[in-house]
Structures are given as C-alpha cells and as structure tokens.
Structure 1
Amino acid sequence: MSQPLILTLRLDVASEKLLTSLRTRFFPSHRNYLSAHITLFHVLPAVHLPLYNTYLTDIASREHDFTIGLKSPFLLGKKGVAINIASFKLRNLHEEILNGLQKNDVELTEQDKTRLRPHVTVQNKVGEEEARKTMDVLSAEWVEKAGKAEGFSLWRYEIGGEWTFLRDFDFKRISS
C-alpha cells in the first residue's frame, strides 16, 4: 500500500514565518517536522494522484489569493494548542474539493468528510499542564491579524511521521 497524501493550504511568507516561530517555540522538537500549515485533508488515497493533480490545478487556476483571519488560540483537547483560522472562502473551497472527491469515488476517512475547522497547530502531543501553560502564554501575547492564502500544497505522509513535499497549486495573485 502506498503512503497517503495530505492536502494543505499554503500561507503567505510572513504568516508562515510567524506561525512557524510559534511551532518552533512550543511544539516538541523531536516531533516538529513541518513549518506552519493548515491541513485540509489528512488521508487522501495515493492511487488518485492524477485526479488530484488535475482537479486541484483547475481549482487553483481560477482562484485568487485571499485573506484569512489568524484568530485566537484554543486548546486542542488536553494535549496541545492551535490558532483558529477564519475564512468563509476557505470553508467554501474545502466543500467544493470535498464534493468533487466524493463525486469521483475517492474513499475518505470520517475526519476528512467532516466540516473543516481550519487551524494551525502550534503545539501537540504534550501533557495537559504544559498545554494549559502554553494557552495562557498565547492568550496573553497573541494579537489577531490577517494573513493570505496563496495556494494548496500536496504532501506524502511517510512512515515515521515526516512529510514529503510533492507539489504546489498556486492561486492567481491579486496585485497589491
């Protein structure tokens, strides 16, 4: 069986740098393989890679980059902390992709079939006390801000937890 694929939303450089600095600060270093990201689909069957390439190229080619809200931190259960992401546009894009995958008989996990709750994980797999301390620190320090969504990234999940980058699907840029 080939390893599953993961689809993420790619952020602008400044937002990714800021959120990655939080991951570097709070995420257990032996588990922190990645820069900041927003996971859209966690387990996509690799057998459909040609479909994903075609489908995501089509969607990205007609979309412009768009603003997202980097909102307040919240507890991820009792073992971590994340930054909430607000964007109606992102939720609509996720629904469009989900519907397209289901129409093409892509077998999805229950997690990937549910409504998107976009967030950036800045800490995970720690104890409840450490997560609460991190939440207290971030609640005092964090200031909500705007970021940009610039495209999708497709990854392969490797045995051991690392991700291998496969491809970006860029949105059209809106001139500033």
Structure 2
Amino acid sequence: MSQPLVLTLRLDAASETVLTELRARYFPKARNYLNAHITLFHALPSSAHTPMEKIISQIASRELRFTVGIKNPFPLGKKGVGINIASHKLRGLHEELMEEFAKERVVLTEQDQRKIRPHVTVQNKVGQDEAKRTLEELRESFEDRPGTAEGFTVWRYEEGGEWTHLKDFPFSLS
C-alpha cells in the first residue's frame, strides 16, 4: 500500500521560526521530525496524487498571500498543546479543497472530512501533567501575532512517522 499524502499550509519564515522554536522546546524530541506546520489534510490517498496536484496548483496559483492570526494556546486533548490559527480565508480554502477533491472522487478519511480547526501542534503525546504545565506556561507567556500564509506544501507520510517533502505550491505575491 502506498503511503498517504499530507497537505499543509506554509507560513512566512518569521512565524514558522517562532512556532518551530516552541515545538522544539515542548514536543517530545524522539517524535519531532518536522518544523511547525498547519495540517489541512492528514491522509490523502497517494493514488489520487495527479488530480490533487492539479487542484492544489490551480487554487494556489490564483490565491494571494493572506494574513492569519496566530493565537491563544489550547489543550489538544489531555496530552498535548496547540496554538490556534485564526483565518476565515483559510477555512474557505479548506472547504473549497474538500469540494474539488469530492468532484474528483478523492476519498477522504473520516478525520479529513471534518471542518478544519487550524492550529500548530507544539506538544503531543506527553503525560497529562506535563501538558497542563506547558499550557499554563504558554498562556502566561504567549503573545498573539499575525502571520502570512504563503502557500501549500504536499508531503508523503513515511512508515515510522517521518514526512518527505514533495512539492510547494506558493500563493501569488500580488
């Protein structure tokens, strides 16, 4: 069976650096394979790579870079912490991607069929006490900030949990 594809939203370098530093500080080192990212779809079928690439490319090529809010830390269940990403534009793009994937009969997992709750995971799969301490610490120190959505990135999820970068789809500058 082919490995699934992951679609993420790419942020500007300054925002990615701030969020990746949080991830490096709080995410379990043995599981931290990636820089900070916003996952839009977690497990797209690799068999649908060609129609998906066409859809993603068409949408990205017509979109302008846009501002997102990087906001308030929140609990990810009982064993992790995320940072909310606020953007009506992003929610609209996610819905459009879902509609276009449906037209091409791209089969989505149950998780990927849900409305998106955009966030960056800065901690996951730790004990409840550690997650609670992290959340309290971040709530005291984290400052909301704007970020810029710069495009989409497609990854291949590998056995063992690592991701392989496949392709970037930048948004237009103007």
User: Which bracket does the TM-score occupy, shorter chain normalised?
Assistant: over 0.9
Structure 1 consecutive aligned stretches of length 4 or more whose deviation exceeds 6 Å: none
CA shift, 1:173, in A, is 1.1
**d(CA) in 2 for partners of 1:35 and 1:160?**
17
TM-score normalized by the length of structure 1: 0.98
> Matches of residues 1-176 of structure 1 in structure 2 within 5 Å?
1-174=1-174
Number of residue pairs aligned between Structure 1 and Structure 2: 174
CA shift, 1:152, in A, is 0.1
RMSD: 0.5
CA shift, 1:32, in A, is 0.2
**d(CA) in 2 for partners of 1:75 and 1:54?**
35
**d(CA) in 2 for partners of 1:130 and 1:53?**
39
CA shift, 1:117, in A, is 0.2
**d(CA) in 2 for partners of 1:123 and 1:6?**
19
**d(CA) in 2 for partners of 1:51 and 1:152?**
15
How far does the alpha carbon of each residue in 1:45-78 deviate from its partner, in whole angstroms, 9 at most, with x for none? 0011111221111101100000000010000000
Letter in 2 for 1:56: I
CA shift, 1:35, in A, is 0.2
**d(CA) in 1 for partners of 2:66 and 2:105?**
29
SS in 1 for 2:99: helix
**d(CA) in 2 for partners of 1:173 and 1:132?**
40
Could you tell which deviates more after superposition, 97-106 or 16-25? 97-106
**d(CA) in 1 for partners of 2:97 and 2:129?**
37
**d(CA) in 2 for partners of 1:109 and 1:51?**
17
Letter in 2 for 1:171: F
Q: Percent identity?
A: 59
Task: Give the gaps of 5 or more residues in structure 2.
Answer: none
Task: Give the gaps of 5 or more residues in structure 1.
Answer: none
**d(CA) in 2 for partners of 1:111 and 1:117?**
11
Letter in 1 for 2:140: A
CA shift, 1:116, in A, is 0.4
**d(CA) in 2 for partners of 1:62 and 1:56?**
10
CA shift, 1:103, in A, is 1.3
**d(CA) in 2 for partners of 1:41 and 1:171?**
18
